[in-house]
Each structure stands twice: as C-alpha cells, then as structure tokens.
Amino acid sequence: MTHDEARTIITNRKRELGDKLIILGHHYQNDDILEYADYVGDSLELARKASRIERAESIVFCGVYFMAETAAILAPGRAVYIPDPAAGCPLADMAPPAEVLAAWDAITQVTRSVVPITYVNSTAELKAFCGRNEGAVCTSGNARKILAWALEKAGKIFFMPDRNLGRNTARSLGIPDGEIVEWDPGAAGMDRDAIAKARVILWKGWCPVHFPEFSAEDVSAIRTRFPGIKVIVHPETDPATVAASDLSGSTAMILEYLASLGEGQKVAVGTEAHMVYRAARANRFRIDVVPLKEVYCEDMAKITLEKLAQTLSRLESGQGRVEVAPDIAEHAMKALDAMLRI
Ligand code: 13P
Ligand code: SF4
C-alpha cells in the first residue's frame, strides 16, 4: 500500500464512521499520523479523554500498547484498537508482575504502612496490583501530586517501574537521597533495615529512550555552545540531567513551557525527537527549539499510516483490538480512578 492509498483509506473511513470513531494520538507520534488524530495529548490527557468518550464506539489509539490498554480500561463498552499491537514499551516490560509480587511480599513483611504506585507506563496487571493494594497510577504530568498523596497516607511508597521519574519526583518533594532506596529485581533482595528506614522504594527500571541517552554532560555541552539557552527535559531522564536543566516536565508541560517563552529565546528539549521537531516547526517564527539530542522511540514509530489504514478498514474483524481480562480491568480501574480523583 502506498502512502497515498493509505491516506485515501483513512480519510474515507473517518468520513464513513463519523463520530462513531475517535482517533487518539500521543505527542511522540509522527506528523503523518497526528494529522488524522482527533485528539493529541500526553499520557494524562489521553487517559482523561478516554475516560470521557461520549459518542464514539471505536477508539483507535496511536501510541504504545500500555496507553491503548489504559484507554480500554477507562472506556468500558468501547472497542479500543492499536494499529500495531507490537508497539510496546521496554520500561513497562521491566516490571514483570511475578517479580513485583515477590518484592511486595518482602516489603510488607517489614511494614504494612506502604502504598504501591505505578507509573502509567506499566502493564494492566501492575495497575491491578496497585488497585488491589489501595495504591494508584501516576503519569509524569501528575507524579508529584500522587506521590504527595501516598506519603501523606502511609509515609512510605513503593514506586514502579521508572527509577528516574521516582527519584526526580521524590527529590522535588524534598525527600533526601538517604531516604530513597532502589529495589533491584536482579539482586537477592533488600535488607529489612533498609526497607524500614526508606520513605521511597524505587523499582530499578528506566526508559532506554531517555536514559542513559540524555546526560548532564549533554546539558553542559549545549549551554557552552549556545550561551543563554534554556534546557527542559522529560523526568524519565536521570536526576543529574534534570538537576543540570532549567526545568523538567511531561510532554504536555514541555509544550506549555515553550509557549510561555519570550520571543527570540533559544531552548533545547530533551525528549523524543518527533515531538521536538514538531514543536520547533510550530514555534519557528517566535523561538528557536532544538533537540538536546536526536533520540527516537522505536516503539512509537511502529505506528505507520499503512497500519492505521489497515486497522480502520478492518475494524469489524477485531484485528488489533486491545482487550483486558475483566478481573484485571476491575482492579486496574480502581488505581486509575484513584489517579483521576486525586
Ligand atoms: P508523557 O506522560 O509525558 O506523555 O510521556 C509518556 C512517555 O512514554 C514518555 O516516554
Ligand atoms: Fe516507553 Fe520510553 Fe518509548 Fe515512552 S519513550 S513509550 S517510556 S520506551
């Protein structure tokens, strides 16, 4: 199928299905795809949108699998599709539920006063685990609020799976590094004293697009090259990179920051390059946006025009439909609902 054929199929199917169909797209998708999205956002905005769908019977999610799975949980009764179910997230895969349960057992043998929080970049099983244990989900857009809530509730957090988002957020809440420990699933466990003393226990996972790709050295190199440049990074970069930058925030927060800058400002953005180049084009007459480094998420890039066209032309076949087992969906919904309420 050529690009032009794919475009014709997508346009015709969208016209045919009208408001029975909604296409959601994440900021990391390429321009070709986002041209057809009815709504574009960060993970939090997309989750909120999915929970408030009114007319659409079918949701086609242009993003990675955990995002489509989250939409399927938040929009019961709608059919959710992803144009390529193999578009996964290596960070989400770093916390297999069986390993998390073993860690949880060890932690709760020391104390019951602990709240499990999972970053939305995780499997539905992990979200269900948090729901069953009175925890919550968070995104990079609301992590600070959710962690503050959990600390207030129990004084101790078990945060999965992104060690960088966890530490960056904990630091922003004033928690010293001495009260943050990392649970390494590859190690033999953790001593009881370390569990008892910690306020934040981080799962040792990371996003390979943001870490170790971006570094504090990249930030100082770009500052030397362009004196006066501002630097904003995604909080999946490590704490040293965040500390070297002017600001960190979710993809939506990065776009808001760019909109707030005065004319003529030069700014480097440390996140996925499709989004950075799109922001550079959108702001080109006002500010100068450059990537801190050119890094792409291969999984996000698995969604192509051709796959979107195929999905739309075969919705009735169920191909690419994302389904979550009822028991998992019920408990994952509790954790997502807690996030949306806090
Ligand atoms: P946002 O929550 O900022 O949209 O980021 C999602 C993501 O996968 C970042 O790598
Ligand atoms: Fe996952 Fe990283 Fe890609 Fe985001 S950028 S979807 S966290 S691999």
pLDDT recorded at residue 186: 85
Is residue 285 one of the residues assigned to a domain? yes
Using a 6 Å cutoff on CB, does residue 297 contact ligand 2?
yes
Domain-embedded: residue 177: yes
Q: Are residues 35 and 75 in the same domain?
A: yes
286 shares a domain with 304? no
Cα–Cα dist 95/101, whole Å? 10
Which pLDDT score is estimated for 84?
Answer: 98
Q: For residue 188, how far is its CA from the centre of ligand 1 (angstroms)? A: 31
139 lines ligand 1 (CB under 6 A): yes
Q: What is the helix (H) or strand (E) element at residue 167, kind and residue range? A: helix 163-172
The pTM assigned to this predicted structure is: 0.96
Distance between CA atoms of residues 286 and 261, nearest Å: 9
**Whether the CB of 154 sits within 6 Å of ligand 1:** no
Residue type, 335: A
Residue 335 is assigned to a structural domain of this protein: no
Nearest ligand, measured from the Cα of 42: 1
Distances (CA, A) of 145 to 39, 150, 342: 25, 9, 7
Same domain, yes or no: 97 and 159:
yes
Atom number in ligand 2 closest to CA 28: 5
Range of 139's domain?
92-207
Distance CA 240, CA 116 (A): 25
CA of 43 to the centre of ligand 2 (A): 11
* Spatial strand order in the sheet of 136-138: 136-138, 115-119, 157-160, 200-203, 180-183
Q: Check if the beta carbon of residue 275 is closer than 8 Å to that of residue 251.
A: yes
| CATH value at residue 148 | 3.40.50.10800
Same domain, 201 and 97: yes
CB-CB contact of 150 with 115 (8 Å): yes
Domain for residue 338, yes or no? Answer: no
**pLDDT tens, N- to C-terminus, the chain (342 residues):** 999 999 999 999 999 999 999 999 999 999 999 999 999 999 999 999 999 999 999 999 999 999 999 999 999 999 999 999 999 999 999 999 999 999 999 999 999 999 999 999 999 999 999 999 999 999 999 999 999 999 999 999 999 999 999 999 999 999 999 999 999 988 878 889 999 999 999 999 999 999 999 999 999 999 999 999 999 999 999 999 999 999 999 999 999 999 999 999 999 999 999 999 999 999 999 999 999 999 999 999 999 999 999 999 999 999 999 999 999 999 999 999 999 998
Per-residue pLDDT, 123: 97
Distance CA 203, CA 225 (A): 36
Three-state SS at 230: strand
| Same structural domain, 45 and 74 | yes
Q: Are 223 and 244 in the same domain?
A: yes
Same domain, 82 and 116: no
Query: Which residue matches tokens 């957090």?
Result: 157
State whether 278 and 308 are in the same domain: no
Please state the atom number of ligand 2 nearest to the C-alpha of residue 236: 7
Question: Are the C-beta atoms of residues 73 and 334 closer than 8 Å to each other?
Answer: no
Residue 235 placed within a domain: yes
pLDDT of residue 187: 86
110 Cβ inside 6 Å of ligand 2: no
* Residue appearing with tokens 């050295």: 217
In a domain, 240, yes or no: yes
Domain count, the chain: 3
CB neighbourhood size of 155 (10 A): 12
How far does residue 90's CA lie from ligand 2's centre (Å)? 7
